[in-house]
Amino acid sequence: MDNWVIPLTLLPGIGMMIMSTSNLATAISTEINNLLERQDCKPELIQKKISQMSLLNVAMVCLYISAAVFAVAGLIEGIFELRTEMHDGTLHQLLLVVGIAALVIASLLLITFSIRAVRIKHNQFLNSIHKD
């Protein structure tokens, strides 16, 4: 196996962690919404749940960043290998580089989305608490 592929082999594991963390964040978000509907719920409890959700969202951002870094590492190594060995496998190598570049772009977009989602959700819950 070429060395530049090694960072990419970690991506499925990172994807599973992102999926698991996303499910946890969704569950906590639902729980917060349920608590907000109750009249007898203390704001301190909701604040603690918001803190939990924020930690999960920061963890997801870190996972997205790690996926992007591994993809960039694979992309850089793949480009250097493509430049140094021009042979019959060039098209295959070029397609791998393009695929990794698309993965990097998607990772950057997901990082941006996740950071914005954390801010929006946090503000949404705080507005619900202070509305009363």
pLDDT, one tens digit per residue, over 74-128 is: 777 777 776 666 555 565 566 667 667 767 777 777 778 777 777 777 777 777 7
CA distance 20 to 106: 19
Residue 40 is given by DSSP the state S
* Number of domain units in the chain: 1
> Are 78 and 40 a contacting pair, CB within 8 Å?
no
Q: What pTM, to 2 d.p., does this model score?
A: 0.63
Helix, strand, coil content of the chain in percent (nearest 5): 90, 0, 10
CA distance 81 to 79: 5
Q: Per-residue pLDDT tens for 22-36?
A: 898 888 889 888 888
CA distance 28 to 17: 17
Give the structural domain span for 110: 3-130
CA distance 114 to 131: 25
